[in-house]
Structure 1
Amino acid sequence: MEWNATLYDHEHEFVSRYGRGLIEILNPKAGEKILDMGCGTGDLTHQLFLMGCEVTGIDASESMIGKAKEKFSDIRFICADACRFELNEKFDAVFSNAVLHWIKDQDAVLQNVYTHLKQGGRFVAELGARGNVEKIRTTLKNTLREHGFTNQADISNWYFPSVAEYADKLEQHGFEIRLMEGYDRPTILQSLEKGIVDWLEMFGSAFFRGIQDTEKVKILNEVQDKLKKDLYQEDFWIADYKRLRFWATKERR
């Protein structure tokens, strides 16, 4: 998937804003070596840097890493895949906000995180949970089918597990869970006029591959119109987010 780093910063800053609560769970200490996995344009990486951490940010998107380096030149950023990166060092903690649900091979990414943690190191992350943006996804897929784009409607590019499912995954890979919770997080979108359209432009671009721009615009507006009854409240567009966050530690196998 191609990421638009400028659109991400301008219209979807809520991703980083909500991630600050995850930093509180991480509870980083000055001098700790921390890996921000899926760092995007680097805002949360920068927060960790300001707290005195020796932080490295990685992301698979060249666009995101380029923007992060442009914004925060004092921080080490690396373009790398979360499943396959190889760094010749161990970290006190791996931090990951709103990234894991984009990764198909969960076994590979969890194994890689485990490998790069020091013994007793912390893995603190948040991802979409089962039912995340269900109304948006269902409406988009139904609308694509109505327009004859059945292949696009059948795309499955997110992984939204239940709490129990992901707890099992972590434990299978040698992690001991210290905290795990699922919760609803209705999220106000930035644009008052095009909240759903902008959200789909940013996060749902894979569904529109092979669709002409004129048809794409028509579908985007139709999806937003259909969702207005449920997701437009008090002059704001609200995405129906459900989240899962956890704190786990690397234990001996």
Structure 2
Amino acid sequence: MRWDGEGYHRVATVQERWGLQLLRQVPRAHYLRILDAGCGSGRLTAHLLRKFPEAHVIGLDVSGEMLEQARRNLRRFQRRLKLVEGDLLTAQPEPKFELVFSNAVFHWIRDHTRLFQNIHRWLAPGGRLVAQYGGAGNLRRIATLTPLLSKLSLFRRHFRDFRRPLNYAAPSATRMLLREIGFQEIQVRLHKAPTRFSTRSRFRDFVRNVILVPDLSQLPTTDLKEAYVESFLALYEKTFGRKAGEEGIQEFKNPRIQEFRIEARQWDCLLVTRSWILEFLDSWIPASTAVR
């Protein structure tokens, strides 16, 4: 996938809010080595560096564009920060970490077995894994629209054999997987986290820079990308029966987004995990069109 680091950073206030809620649950401790797994543009990396002023943080991300934005955003922390381009399935970060933190990342990775096995190896004895990410049911309504768009004559040839690189895992499957890998004391919670967009343009900006990134990465030109976004909005409006951004309508709402939250500890090669799997968010739709 090809990310626009500047565009993502501009719209990622929602993800930052979720990440801060998660970070508040991480107890203050004398962490010296922290991995931000999928650091993106560095919004949460900055909060990690502030909360743990003695720690050295490695920010790992698969996107060079994201890391370029992170370097611009995190210049003041350069003495305690190293940014590394790499895939969470193949990276070999050294040495081991007292804390592995991840925000809004793991749903972009299909192979969760390999992912969690890697993190298990990366944790030092006594270390923690704390993460949140999208899960089963996430963006369910959006998922019904994108396959229709990819079949339109203008876009069809660019989506042959295309499969969106997403894994919105169910709580039961994740719980079982964590146990198999060695996680213990696993807890799962589910609740709603409304997200609102005050204008159509902000809704469009978020869709373009987050939700549709896998689709837009298939398209070779800016004109095709913009046509795809506009086609999405038109289909969205037709399907849900109202104009996105219609005059007098100010609120866009995502009634349910699913987040998995995981806290893990490793003692003498035994990974003891407390897992909070939170927030099953549904779809990015205006509040007035939500089906109850």
Task: Compute the TM-score of the two structures, normalised by the length of structure 2.
Answer: 0.76
Tell me the CA shift for residue 133 of structure 1. 0.7
Corresponding position of 1:183: 191
2:128 pairs with one of 122, 128, 131? 122
Residues 1:171 and 2:179 are matched in the alignment? yes
Contact 1:58 1:79 in 2 (8 A): yes
Corresponding position of 1:136: 142
Identity %: 23
1:238 pairs with one of 238, 249, 253? 253
Corresponding position of 1:57: 59
1:224 pairs with one of 224, 233, 236? 233
Q: The residue matched to 1:180 in structure 2 has which SS?
A: coil
Tell me the CA shift for residue 95 of structure 1. 0.7
Instruction: Encode CA deviations 1:200-253: one digit per residue, 9 max, x unaligned.
Output: 322323324247655543442232244354896951223352222222333528
Given the superposition, is the C-alpha separation of residues 186 and 77 from structure 1 closer, same or farther in structure 2, using an over 3 Å criterion? same
**Bigger proportion of residues as strand:** 1
Given the superposition, is the C-alpha separation of residues 218 and 61 from structure 1 closer, same or farther in structure 2, using an over 3 Å criterion? closer
Tell me the CA shift for residue 172 of structure 1. 1.5
Tell me the CA shift for residue 80 of structure 1. 1.7
Given the superposition, is the C-alpha separation of residues 62 and 112 from structure 1 closer, same or farther in structure 2, using an over 3 Å criterion? same
Instruction: Encode CA deviations 1:24-79: one digit per residue, 9 max, x unaligned.
Output: 22224244422110011112111111122512211111111122122213222211
Corresponding position of 1:252: 270
Q: The residue matched to 1:140 in structure 2 has which SS?
A: helix
Contact 1:91 1:117 in 2 (8 A): yes
Q: Which amino acid aligns with 1:36?
A: D
Q: The residue matched to 1:27 in structure 2 has which SS?
A: coil
Q: Mark the runs of 5 or more structure 1 residues left unpaired by the alignment.
A: none
Q: Which amino acid aligns with 1:169?
A: L
Corresponding position of 1:80: 86
Tell me the CA shift for residue 144 of structure 1. 3.0
Given the superposition, is the C-alpha separation of residues 202 and 108 from structure 1 closer, same or farther in structure 2, using an over 3 Å criterion? same
Instruction: Encode CA deviations 1:132-156: one digit per residue, 9 max, x unaligned.
Output: 0111121222233355738739523
Q: What is the rounded CA distance, in whole Å, between the counterparts of 1:31 and 1:217 in structure 2? A: 44
Q: What is the rounded CA distance, in whole Å, between the counterparts of 1:7 and 1:224 in structure 2? A: 18
Q: What is the rounded CA distance, in whole Å, between the counterparts of 1:28 and 1:142 in structure 2? A: 48
Given the superposition, is the C-alpha separation of residues 217 and 31 from structure 1 closer, same or farther in structure 2, using an over 3 Å criterion? closer
Residues 1:104 and 2:110 are matched in the alignment? yes
Contact 1:174 1:252 in 2 (8 A): yes
Moved more, 117-126 or 141-150: 141-150
Tell me the CA shift for residue 15 of structure 1. 1.4
Residues 1:45 and 2:40 are matched in the alignment? no
Q: What is the rounded CA distance, in whole Å, between the counterparts of 2:227 and 2:176 in structure 1? A: 42
Q: Which amino acid aligns with 1:241?
A: I
Corresponding position of 2:286: none
Q: The residue matched to 1:95 in structure 2 has which SS?
A: strand
Tell me the CA shift for residue 122 of structure 1. 1.4
Tell me the CA shift for residue 109 of structure 1. 1.5
Contact 2:37 2:88 in 1 (8 A): yes
Aligned-pair RMSD on alpha carbons? 2.7
Corresponding position of 1:198: 205
Corresponding position of 1:156: 164
Given the superposition, is the C-alpha separation of residues 252 and 59 from structure 1 closer, same or farther in structure 2, using an over 3 Å criterion? same
Q: What is the rounded CA distance, in whole Å, between the counterparts of 1:180 and 1:123 in structure 2? A: 15
